[in-house]
Amino acid sequence: MGKMIDLTGQRFGRWTVLEYVGYEKGVMWRCKCDCGTERNVRSDHLRYGKTISCGCFRAEVTAKETGKKIQKHGMWNTRLYHIWQRMKQRCSPSCPKHEIHNYYDKGIRVCAEWESGFELFMNWALCNGYKENLSIDRIDGNKNYEPSNCRWATAREQTNNRRNTYFVEYKGKTKALTDWADVLKIAPSTLSNRLRRGMSVEDAFERPVKKK
């Protein structure tokens, strides 16, 4: 075992690390949840977001989204649970061949950790910026659904992450054409048509739009 990193006093989610308590299938720390509950938690579970509280946070999310008391993980009717189910379905051999998001035939899979149960996926999501207006997005579209390759993104960010998104450099900055259109207050189709006709980026972006 390598040199142990001292986590005493650090916060992970709602856990505050109190003290080192020994080794049991991993380095164990005595932690106190914001609600007052104390529990021994493994170092890797803290550092990689596999646990963020004693369970109180999950209960609060469930109550907020469904108005129901928690039962087991209690998240069946939540948006996050449906995202997890849909993600697995897209990468399953049972996904219809005609569906646009049939990733199974492309060799894209859900990592074993998330495939094994919803709670591990939920813990990662809540520790990594999940919000109601965001969707899960693979950073590298050729790789699997796994913690190191996923993020929570807006619809615009997901669009910009597609392989056919057109990026343009202008005044030392690179943005998607649609983002430049927002900045310049010019329709994306106008900018695209100008560039397609052979205009320079400067001319295409700086030429005033004729008012009809």
Residues 41/31, Cβ–Cβ less than 8 Å = yes
Dist CA 178 CA 166 (whole Å): 8
Please list, in sequence order, all residues whose beta carbon lies within 8 angstroms of the beta carbon of residue 188, skipping any fewer than 6 positions away: 177, 178, 181
Residues 135/82, Cβ–Cβ less than 8 Å = no
Dist CA 187 CA 62 (whole Å): 42
Dist CA 58 CA 33 (whole Å): 13
> Tens of pLDDT along 11-41?
888 889 999 999 887 899 999 988 788 889 8
Provide the pLDDT for residue 93.
84
pLDDT at 92 over 80: yes
Residue-wise DSSP of 129-146: T--TT-EEEESSTTS-BS
Residue 8 CB neighbours (<10 A):
11
Dist CA 160 CA 178 (whole Å): 8
Provide the pLDDT for residue 71.
45
